[in-house]
Amino acid sequence: MKKILAAIALTAIMMTTSFASTACDMCGKGDPAVELRGAMQKRWADHMQWTFSTVDAFFNNQKGLQANLDRLLQNQKDIGTAIFPYYGQAAGDALAKLLTEHIQQAVPVLTAAQKNDQEGLKKALDNWYKNAQDIADFLSSANAKNWPQKEMREMMKTHIDQTTAYSVDLLKGDYAAAVKKYDEANNHMKQMGEELSMGIIKQFPAKFEKAKKPTAKSKSKK
């Protein structure tokens, strides 16, 4: 019964995310600002979707763990690639590296929780929160005006808080509570994707305004 509930919960989450992603892919074609916002929201929503499924596999489905983990790690590269056009490949690769460490550092947290090792759990969580702070600081250093350090740190801390909360539920096998908290965590990731994309649009307005504003020549033809 536990495995059946897990399968139903994960299927519902993936179907909802897939539908939203498809709808997003179909909107705003030709408008670079809308396309960026959609792409960033999808990547960060994918981050939460595959984190949830990987955590569940870690506790409840070891056979499916590697496939979920591989997809989750690919997502970190996808997020890094998304900022290539604005900050360069080196910055994108650096962000992907920090995010990959973010995933890797979750393993000691989950392991300690599963073993009920409170001392090990505290140490692992401290490292995980430190990595989240490093990600926030990296983002802020690239766009301090639109991605203030305090705000980025709060957003990343909330991400860890929410991921930890539903991980506890998954460990207990309480899928109803886990899915409810997943929804909150997923919405937070979409919000983060939106704030990051809007920060890019504000920092590099010329990259987005050219396509939106018709030239005097094109106006005269109408």
Find out whether 139 and 193 touch, Cβ atoms under 8 Å: no
Residue 185 token pair: 């965590």
CA-wise closest residue to 2 among 164, 171, 116: 171
Find out whether 61 and 3 touch, Cβ atoms under 8 Å: yes
- The mean pLDDT value for 86-104 works out to 98
pTM of the model: 0.84
3-state helix, strand, coil in the chain (%, to 5): 90, 0, 10
- Interhelix angle 65-82/32-60, rounded to 10 degrees, is 160
Residue 143: left if φ>0, alpha if ψ -120 to 50, beta else—which one? Answer: beta
What is the reported pLDDT for 71? 98
Residue corresponding to tokens 């910055």: 91
pLDDT at 18 over 70: no
DSSP letter for 27, please: S
DSSP letter for 63, please: G
pLDDT at 42 over 60: yes
Residue corresponding to tokens 């299927």: 11
The torsion angles phi and psi of 92, rounded to 5 degrees, stand at -65, -40
Helices (H) and strands (E) in the chain, counts: 11, 0
Find out whether 47 and 158 touch, Cβ atoms under 8 Å: no
pLDDT in tens, 98-137: 999 999 999 999 999 999 999 999 999 999 999 999 999 9
CA distance 193 to 13: 19
Find out whether 68 and 54 touch, Cβ atoms under 8 Å: yes
CA distance 176 to 85: 40
CA distance 180 to 139: 29
pLDDT at 15 over 50: no
pLDDT in tens, 159-184: 999 999 999 999 999 999 999 999 99
CA-wise closest residue to 79 among 163, 162, 192: 192
